[in-house]
A and B are shown apart, each in its own frame.
Chain A
Amino acid sequence: MKLQELLSKNRDTILADWEDVVLGEYAPETFRIFKKQKNKFANPIGHKTTTGLAELYDVLCDEDDKEIATPALVEMLKVRALQPISATEAMSFLFEIKTLVRERCEKQGMDKLYKEFLAFCVRVDATALAMFDIFTNCKHRVFMVRINELKTGRHIITDNAKCSAQLVRENMEEDK
């Protein structure tokens, strides 16, 4: 069996294991809810993770040059860019796929497919670079949102409330 065939035949089980790795970063009772609740409105993080991983998996398995930034993957990374974890922690899940696939290969006596596996790993690494771009764009977006809040004046409502009269008073005091 070729690696490509293995990836295709084991898509569902590998994806399920991969999802466990990602959602397993949450506390056990959160994991239970995020894993089981299939309604996307009742479980946005679980849903975005599941669909994001599925699209990412298909990108990795496709030997053609597919667009890496698929809509669901971007959504998944938007979630991760907001969590208070480091960029390393947010992105490391990608490399778990190497372990998951290698384990499958070993189980099925396909250790000698190292050249194909190596090619798969190269695709993972290339994807990682593209994903870092998406991730940093998400972070950048948060800062832009904050800047927009200042530019539009909404910060007056959303930050320490100061009326114009108070600002004028403060300026006058500073000028003294």
Chain B
Amino acid sequence: MAIPKVEELRVSVASEPNMFTGAVPKADWQDTFTEFKEGNFAYPAKPEMVEYHGFPNSRIWSPDEDDWKLPDGWEKIILDGLKERLGKFRSLKLYMDICVRCGACADKCHFFLGTGDPKNMPVLRAELLRSVYRNEYSVGRKVLSKMLGNRPMTVKVLKEWFMYSYQCTECRRCSVFCPYGIDTAEITMMMRELLHLVGVGINWILEPAANSNRTGNHMGLQPHTFKQNIEFLVDDVKDITGIDVTPTFNRKGAEVLFITPSADVFAEPGIFTFMGYLLLFKHIGLDYTLSTYASEGGNFGLFTNNELMKKLNGKMYAEAERLGVKWILGGECGHMWRVLHQYMDTMNGPADFLEVPKSPITGTVFKNAASTKMVHISEFTADLIKHNKLKLDPKRNAHRVPTFHDSCNPARAMGLLDEPRYILDAVVPKWHEMNENCIREKTFCCGSGTGLNTGEIMELRMRSGLPRANAVQDVHEKYGVNCLANVCAIDRATLQPLMEYWIPPTGDDPMATTDVNVIGLSELVGNALVMDGEIENRDQGLRFEELVTDDTEG
């Protein structure tokens, strides 16, 4: 396929109406303007949130107004920030220099495929920053500036950065196809960091990040509320199974500290996943504790800047050290695992005060976590199944026909590909893979990651999620798939609306919102677990739905 070169893009990229902005540019893409309208941008951060983080230039502003009230000398602030980061991060310098514009990434981005906006081609999104970089640093920049596609830092450029760095979920699918291994997500991260230097950021990232810093979780749940919510879930588990799964909190000397996204404690369908964890730990008699301080796996620092990412990641380890646990078990989360596998070690590691994780049930030593000392719940569960330590009845999930959505970060950032599939094989009678172009390393993002899971951009989320929804539609039609299993809290929150739009309900149930419901993998585990002392002929799933039993089969 002929992929356009940057030179061609520059001339023709916007000679037709832009499907995202609705603008009808007439000139070179560098000379076209980005139009902000209600619905195509996430709301800017409130001044108090900016101030909370100690970020500069807090103010009330709105992207759809011409004047963004940028501070005096903002261009210098940005360029100095870029210089500092080029010196600090060798990867950034490399990514700025080595792209040959081969275009291999151009049609791999879900935002491009769902919006048709060429500036969402990863190569061009990165060019928004590269053009400024070259203007400052390339040889011959003064003479051949325009020909080389260089451009100075202007308000127009800044607005493009804001528009398109917040139309990237840092999912890294493009990087899988890049022959040079350029991680375009890191370019997005740098653009966001630079924007924060002049007080340009979105509220749905800075507020959760502030909450995480203050109360330990992005919901802002205070310790007693966090504990109470879990107690509600414990009651539900008791009602459904007859089993008392009461966990402990902040208990010193526990073997394992369990950390999961706080969304699992608070909202559907994550709470059902959490109930699955509780049953699993009870089933194997794990010596674990929860923490009301490290009550969040998600790291909104990753979406903000490297300092905040380090700080939030550090809280988990500080708590593990304080409690004196041996190692950390992590729940079904997305970006927690990217931070852990790609950045933790150089930011806060190695965690020498912890032990190399060893399953107390099977004796398996997780050497892959020798430095971070943190094991993924799916690795842990798959190992239990492998050693035949779980009593499972997959028939209990016979009402579910899942497909598996590889969440971007566990799949591409830590290589968690086979463990979830191994678990699915054991806990459901049958499940079906989506098309090979849409799974494993090549998985398509939910379209709402990195802080873009906010309601004011719902239509954008539905557009960017189209490639994922399209693949689910296919297995739904072919095999009657009726649930979408995954291992990420943001997926659980955002794939559900995506399914509701793209796969609306067709049955008789007036309460149904879609034909494909989203489900955490551990919920399926929890449903399949046959617990000692459980209610005879347990007939309810963790959502209080009817389970297939021998009687109902009869």
Contacts and interface: CB of A to CB of B under 8 A. Distances in A.
Tell me whether chain A's interface is mostly helix, strand or loop, or mixed: helix
Interface string A132-146: 000000000110111
B501 A41 contact: no
A39, A41, A43 interface centre (most CB from chain B within 10 Å): A41
Contacts of B220: 161-163, 165-166
Contacts of B513: 144, 148
Interface size class of A (residues with CB under 8 A): 35 or more
Nearest to B263: A157
A33 B107 contact: yes
A8 B174 CA distance: 42
Given A142-B462, A154-B493, A26 B116 contact: yes
B203 interface: yes
Contact of B455 (A83, A144, A155): A155
A32 B113 contact: no
Given A30-B118, A152-B267, A161 B15 contact: no
B266 A157 contact: yes
A108 to B, nearest CB: 31
A173 interface: no
A148 B497 CA distance: 8
Nearest to A84: B22
Contacts of A144: 500, 513
A41 B219 contact: no
B207 interface: yes
Nearest to A80: B19
Contacts of A156: 219, 266-267
A112 interface: no
A41 B314 CA distance: 40
Contacts of B12: 27-29
Interface stretch (B50-58, B352-360, B366-374, B465-473): B465-473
Interface size class of B (residues with CB under 8 A): 35 or more
A32 B121 CA distance: 13
B4 A32 contact: yes
Contacts of B106: 29, 33
A91 B113 CA distance: 21
Nearest to A155: B455
B225 A33 contact: no
A109 to B, nearest CB: 34
Contacts of A165: 220-222, 225
B113 A153 contact: no
Contacts of B2: 32, 36
Contacts of B384: none
Given A29-B9, A165-B225, A146 B113 contact: no
22 contacts: A27-B12, A30-B118, A32-B4, A33-B106, A33-B107, A37-B1, A41-B474, A42-B437, A44-B470, A45-B114, A45-B116, A48-B470, A82-B459, A146-B455, A152-B267, A158-B455, A160-B204, A162-B220, A163-B211, A163-B215, A163-B219, A164-B221
